[in-house]
Structure 1
């Protein structure tokens, strides 16, 4: 398992994309459609940032998430369920074939697990 990306909800995708590209020299890696919204992935050699359009005002711990890349998403779901953690959202299959699922950690932090084996 490795950290895949850090995701943040933003008010304006274009303004945020331009900011992170200019100020952090991140390159646009991809745009993925999810539930009718475009998600923008920006990256450097060692870091990936996901920009998500914010739909509503929420608590700060709910507007960011940490994503871990895993080889087997079903195994991770079973592991978390076995420790009393219920799925918060998903599992979903994204437009590029990735599979993802979200859990809430013990302090209400959002944890995403991503299997990229279905990548097209």
Structure 2
């Protein structure tokens, strides 16, 4: 297992992109759209940040963050977690970029995402 990204829910995607690019030297890795969300992945060296903007302004929650780990085999991890009584809260989801992802809830209601990357660029 290795670290993949930290997700941050933002109010203004363009302003947030500019901030992380100009202040911390990140560059845009890719942009995605899911139902009701616009997403930008920023990358600097091995650090990746996911910025998430809900299309519904009232959906913004400043404390809505998640932890994500990249795994080699999402199916094996899902079996392992279910054997330990941890069931997915969302997913598995196959993204258009080839990634697969599943979300779980941790003991403190934190969101834990496991992601399998088909072709990491």
> What residue number does 2:87 align with?
86
**Aligned residues, how many?**
118
Once the two structures are superposed, residues 5-48 of structure 1 have per-residue CA deviations (whole angstroms, 9 ceiling, x without a partner) of: 00011011111111111111100011122225331000100210
Question: What is the CA–CA distance in structure 1 between the aligned matches of 2:78 and 2:38, rounded to whole Å?
Answer: 26
2:92 counterpart SS class? strand
1:80 counterpart SS class? helix
Q: Is 1:26 aligned with 2:26? A: yes
Superposed CA RMSD: 1.8
Q: Is the 8 A contact 1:26 1:43 kept in 2?
A: yes
Which blocks of at least 5 consecutive residues in structure 1 are unaligned? none
> What residue number does 2:103 align with?
102
What is the CA-CA distance between 1:59 and the residue it aligns to?
Answer: 7.1
Structure 1 residue runs of 4 or more that deviate by more than 4 Å after TM superposition: none
1:75 counterpart SS class? helix
Question: What is the CA–CA distance in structure 2 between the aligned matches of 1:6 and 1:103, rounded to whole Å?
Answer: 15
Question: What is the CA–CA distance in structure 1 between the aligned matches of 2:60 and 2:20, rounded to whole Å?
Answer: 22
Q: How does 1:39-118 map to 2 (within 5 A)?
A: 39-54=39-54, 55=56, 56-58=59-61, 60=63, 63-117=64-118
TM-score (norm 1): 0.90
